[in-house]
Amino acid sequence: MDSMSLIGRKIAGRFEIEALVGEGAMGAVFRARQIALGTTVAVKVLHRPLTSDPSFAARFLREAQAASRIDHPSSMRVIDFGEQDDGLLFMATEYLDGRTLADVLDEVGPMPAPRIIDIASQILAALAVAHEMNVVHRDLKPENIMLLEGEDDEGCRHDIVKVCDFGVAKLLEQQGSGSRVTGEGLIVGTPAYMSPEQARGESLDARSDLYSMGVLLFQMMTGAVPFDATTAVATALMHVTDEPTRPRAINPSIDERLEAICLKAMRKRREDRFSNAREMRAELRGLCTYSSTDLPAPLPAETRAQGLLSQVEPMPRRSPLAVLAISATVLAVVIAAGTLVQHRGASVSAALTENMQDASSSTATASAASANSMARSPSPPMEPSQVPIAAPVATPPVVASAPVDASKPGAHAAPTKVSKPPAATSSETKSAPAPRTAKSGKRTGSKHPPSKPTDAGAPTVSNAPNAMDEPLPVFPDPPPEPLPAPPAP
């Protein structure tokens, strides 16, 4: 049946064939639309010669069911499979919009080690899950590895790997003779990637897929397969009898450890290879941890001893963020304390300044009062005969003098107020002093001349009590009244 005749046909009433994607010896792959969901899927249809044997159809359905249980991000997901009424066998899988590893190798040739490790690790992860379910791929080759473009967590370019066609190669091994048939024949397996036991027709296990994985590593490192003869049979025999060329002889830039992993996977005896896919993947992933230049130099004995002591008594270590937070807190406390001290210092300084101003004001006031008091002229001294002997003294006489302008030459303090003496008794009348006028300063009826005025700069004595505490105000008083005349004898 012509593959193009299937375009537009509905498979199992659920998938409508839209276009032919590719065609090979086993069958053809079409792009189809899932009618119920409207999503794009891939439908693989096997050629009629493979479905002519009823036992082959039963084995295909059993292996397709096993492959549909493989649930891994690096394995192509099987959506549906079955057999049509006319004997057509199909398998519907997720549609992969990418390129095969064979196309990438033809374009770029040898790959850098990090990309090789990334791709191989994803392939081995899918193989590990399939092997744990007793599913052996048996036809692992670049054409069955799809690479999709993606990005990792850091935003860098990343290959997303999808392993295709699980279980189908086993059926072809049972049906064919293990060699490539030209013309209208079938391709059963791929001799360039066959393990020695597969080329000899022996029973296979998971380690056969690991041998094929070693061949893929060799090709990604060098850009060529290890064995390539003119015929398929000669190529298969080389896997059985010949040792592969060391990859570093072809590409000297290859890491020695990566070369060692590749050659171990391609050992002739399956017992000498890796025991499972997870072990091989762990060896590859270990190459990403350290490089030969990143290994630290051995430490001296003293440093090792100190390291042991630090393990016995570990010192707490703070993270840089914690140290920064503590430093910021301490700095804030110091700034706050400085601000408080500065504020309180300013308050104390203001208080001291205010007290000093008050003291200065009080001192100035007291000094002015003292000057006023000292500027007053004292009463002229009286003769002993004129001083009353038995007169009661209630209040000492106060003599105030008007302020003197020192700037005027010859200025003298003039008495302005004289307290009135007490009344004299009859026995004292004869000795009482005569009254003094305010203008002339002469005593009435007295033969004594007036007292000389005191110089402006000379100190005077005042009889006023507490002159320093309460300065006496100076007011102009009227002239004193004259004393009454003594009675006639």
Each residue of 85-111: pLDDT tens digit? 888 889 899 998 899 999 999 999 999
Catalytic residue among 139, 159, 165, 209: 139
**Structural domain contains residue 228:** yes
**Structural domain contains residue 395:** no
Write the burial class of residue 389 (CB in 10 Å: 0-12 exposed, 13-18 middle, 19+ buried).
Answer: exposed
Has residue 403 got a pLDDT over 70? no
153 is catalytic: no
> How many domains are there within the chain?
2
Question: 37-51, 157-171, 251-265, 378-392: which has the minimum mean pLDDT?
Answer: 378-392
Prediction pTM value: 0.55
Q: What is the distance between the alpha carbons of residues 18 and 39, in angstroms, rounded to a whole number?
A: 12
**Structural domain contains residue 411:** no
| Mean pLDDT, residues 292-306 | 46
The angle formed by the CA atoms of residues 332, 333 and 339, to the nearest 5 degrees, is: 90
More confident residue, 447 or 25: 25
More confident residue, 412 or 115: 115
Q: What is the distance between the alpha carbons of residues 201 and 457, in angstroms, rounded to a whole number?
A: 146
| Mean pLDDT, residues 297-313 | 48
Tell me the two tokens of residue 464: 């006023």
Has residue 191 got a pLDDT over 50? yes
- At 469 the pLDDT is 52
Q: Are residues 119 and 73 in the same domain?
A: no
Q: Which residue has the tokens 């004393």?
A: 483
More confident residue, 278 or 444: 278
Q: Are residues 89 and 102 in the same domain?
A: no
- The CATH number given to whatever domain includes residue 8 is 3.30.200.20
- At 464 the pLDDT is 47
- At 426 the pLDDT is 47
Alpha helices of 69-205 — where are they, by DSSP H?
A: 101-108, 113-132, 168-175, 196-199
Has residue 176 got a pLDDT over 50? no
Q: Are residues 159 and 280 in the same domain?
A: yes
Interior/surface letters 222-250, b for 16+ CB within 10 angstroms, e for the rest: bebbbbeeeebeebbbbbeeeebebbeee
Q: Are residues 147 and 248 in the same domain?
A: yes
More confident residue, 303 or 357: 357
Question: 245-249, 346-350, 451-455: which has the minimum mean pLDDT?
Answer: 451-455
| Mean pLDDT, residues 452-473 | 50
**Structural domain contains residue 144:** yes
**135: nearest Cα among 73, 201, 64:** 64
Question: 18-32, 193-207, 427-441: which has the minimum mean pLDDT?
Answer: 427-441
Has residue 76 got a pLDDT over 70? yes
Q: Are residues 133 and 226 in the same domain?
A: yes
According to DSSP, the β-strands at 145-151 and 157-163 are: antiparallel
Residues contacting 285, CB < 8 A, separation 6+? 117, 121
More confident residue, 361 or 438: 361
**189: nearest Cα among 174, 166, 173:** 173
- Going by pLDDT thresholds of 50, 70 and 90, the confidence category of residue 367 is low
| Mean pLDDT, residues 344-369 | 64
**Structural domain contains residue 479:** no
Q: Are residues 169 and 114 in the same domain?
A: yes
- At 326 the pLDDT is 79
- At 66 the pLDDT is 75
Measured from the Cβ of residue 455, the count of other Cβ atoms closer than 10 Å reads 13
- At 430 the pLDDT is 46
Q: What is the distance between the alpha carbons of residues 192 and 68, in angstroms, rounded to a whole number?
A: 27
Give φ, ψ of 50 to 5 degrees.
-80, -20
Q: How far apart are the first and last CA of the chain?
A: 185
**Structural domain contains residue 327:** no
Q: What is the distance between the alpha carbons of residues 462 and 459, in angstroms, rounded to a whole number?
A: 10
E strand intervals along 373-481: 399-401, 415-418
Tell me the two tokens of residue 84: 């049509």
**Structural domain contains residue 65:** yes
- At 454 the pLDDT is 46
**Structural domain contains residue 8:** yes
Q: What one-character-per-residue DSSP string does 208-230 give? A: HHHHHHHHHHHHHHHSS-S---S
SS3 259: helix
Tell me the two tokens of residue 378: 């004292």
Taking a C-beta distance cutoff of 8 angstroms, is the pair 175, 188 a contact?
Answer: yes
**137: nearest Cα among 199, 63, 196, 71:** 63
Has residue 68 got a pLDDT over 70? yes
Q: Are residues 102 and 223 in the same domain?
A: yes
Question: 40-54, 123-137, 356-370: which has the minimum mean pLDDT?
Answer: 356-370
| Mean pLDDT, residues 299-307 | 50
Q: Are residues 36 and 116 in the same domain?
A: no
**178: nearest Cα among 103, 233, 238, 135:** 233
Residue type, 348: V
Residues contacting 11, CB < 8 A, separation 6+? 17, 32, 43, 45, 84, 88, 90, 92
Q: Are residues 135 and 124 in the same domain?
A: yes
DSSP character for 148? E
- At 167 the pLDDT is 56
Q: Are residues 42 and 119 in the same domain?
A: no
Q: Which residue has the tokens 């300013």?
A: 346
Q: Which of 72, 95, 118 is the last residue of a domain?
A: 95
Tell me the two tokens of residue 124: 């081995």
Has residue 166 got a pLDDT over 80? no
Q: Which of 244, 265, 289 is the last residue of a domain?
A: 289
Q: Which of 51, 80, 95 is the last residue of a domain?
A: 95
pLDDT tens digits along 240-272: 999 999 999 999 999 999 999 999 999 999 999
**403: nearest Cα among 463, 471, 315:** 471
- The CATH number given to whatever domain includes residue 153 is 1.10.510.10
- At 359 the pLDDT is 62
Q: Report the run of H or E that residue 334 belongs to, with start and end.
A: helix 320-375
pLDDT tens digits along 330-340: 788 778 777 77
What sign does the dihedral 74-79-83-88 (CA atoms) show? negative
Has residue 364 got a pLDDT over 70? no
Q: Are residues 109 and 237 in the same domain?
A: yes
Domain that holds residue 235: 98-289
Q: What is the distance between the alpha carbons of residues 147 and 162, in angstroms, rounded to a whole number?
A: 7
Q: Are residues 239 and 135 in the same domain?
A: yes
Has residue 402 got a pLDDT over 70? no
| Mean pLDDT, residues 391-398 | 49
- At 17 the pLDDT is 93
pLDDT tens digits along 116-136: 999 999 999 999 999 998 888
